[in-house]
Amino acid sequence: DIVMTQTPLSSPVTLGQPASISCRSSQSLVDSDGNTHLSWLQQRPGQPPRLLIYKISNRLSGVPDRFSGSGAGTDFTLKISRVEAEDVGVYYCMQATHYPYTFGQGTKLEIK
Amino acid sequence: QVQLVESGGGVVQPGRSLRLSCAASGFSFSTYVMHWVRQAPGKGLEWVTVISSDGGTKYYADSVKGRFTISRDNSKNTLYLQVNTLRVEDTAVYYCARAIRDPEEYWGQGTLVTVSS
């Protein structure tokens, strides 16, 4: 199974400041069609997860443009340009190229 | 609007079984791949299983292979998860979710399964 490793596991951030989360996979996430199914999900307290970004850098409709994803191969990053109070929660990377799908451990974003 | 409503959770003794259901509405259920993902209390997400739109293809996490069975009834717009030989470590909120890697993803609110003697 592919192991997804996130860093940091906790990220205290000042409102209005940037935040960055890294995710590394234990093997390439490029599929036979050349697609890389690396997603980022947000889970707010008491809520189910929701998809923010798919295929490395594609934001879902309605996701603020302060969220951006980047990376290639086995190294990926989620950036929040200016953290807002509503961004508090746990962020997961997920590889959806190979079954079984696997998630990172989660990064808890909190306000300082 | 799209809705996924899980049911069937509860408190069960180790070794027993449950059947979880996920009632779908507001979209063409029969055209979507469907997943079960679980989350132990205070822990991260664990992908459990997936079923193709026609029910013909299924994959499982190693941790549940041989004990859990995913199925669907497209005539009833319902997804199922038969969970057998339950273990304490199966205690979790079980989410059903649509197409979790795609822009059309959608998650239910989850149903809690507690395995305890």
Dihedrals phi, psi of A108, to nearest 5 degrees = -85, 115
Euclidean distance between CA atoms A70 and A92, whole angstroms? 15
Considering only CA atoms, which of A108, A111, A89, A104 is closest in space to residue A40?
Answer: A104
Euclidean distance between CA atoms B13 and B1, whole angstroms? 37
pLDDT classification of A99: cutoffs 50, 70, 90: very high
Dihedrals phi, psi of A85, to nearest 5 degrees = -60, -35
**In terms of DSSP bridges, do strands B68-73 and B78-83 run parallel, antiparallel, or are they unpaired?**
antiparallel
B62 → chain A, closest CA residue: A100
- Chain A neighbors of B37, CB-CB under 8 A: 49
Residue with structure tokens 């993803």?
B105
Give percent helix, percent strand, percent coil of chain B, each to the nearest 5: 5, 50, 45
B65 → chain A, closest CA residue: A100
- Confirm if B39 and B45 have CB atoms less than 8 A apart: yes
Share of chain B above pLDDT 70, in %: 100
CB atoms A43 and B61 under 8 Å: no
Find the distance separating the first CA and the last CA of chain A, reported in whole Å.
36
pLDDT tens digit sequence for B96-106: 999 999 999 99
The predicted model gives A74-96 an average pLDDT of: 97
pLDDT classification of A7: cutoffs 50, 70, 90: very high
- Chain A neighbors of B60, CB-CB under 8 A: 100
Tokens encoding A12: 């205290």
Of B101, B107, B110, the CB nearest to A50: B107
Share of chain B above pLDDT 90, in %: 100
The predicted model gives A52-58 an average pLDDT of: 97
Q: How far is CA A69 from CA A65, A76, A84, A89, A90, in A?
A: 10, 7, 17, 17, 16
pLDDT tens digit sequence for A62-76: 999 999 999 998 999
What confidence score (pLDDT) does residue B55 get? 96
- Does A23 touch chain B if contact means CB atoms closer than 8 Å? no
The predicted model gives A16-44 an average pLDDT of: 96
What confidence score (pLDDT) does residue A102 get? 98
What confidence score (pLDDT) does residue B63 get? 96
pLDDT tens digit sequence for B55-78: 999 999 999 999 999 999 999 999
Tokens encoding A73: 């191969």
What confidence score (pLDDT) does residue B26 get? 97
Euclidean distance between CA atoms A22 and A9, whole angstroms? 10
Euclidean distance between CA atoms A100 and A1, whole angstroms? 7
pLDDT classification of B33: cutoffs 50, 70, 90: very high
Say how many CA atoms lie within 13 Å of A40 toward its Cβ. 28
- Confirm if B17 and B9 have CB atoms less than 8 A apart: no
What confidence score (pLDDT) does residue A98 get? 95
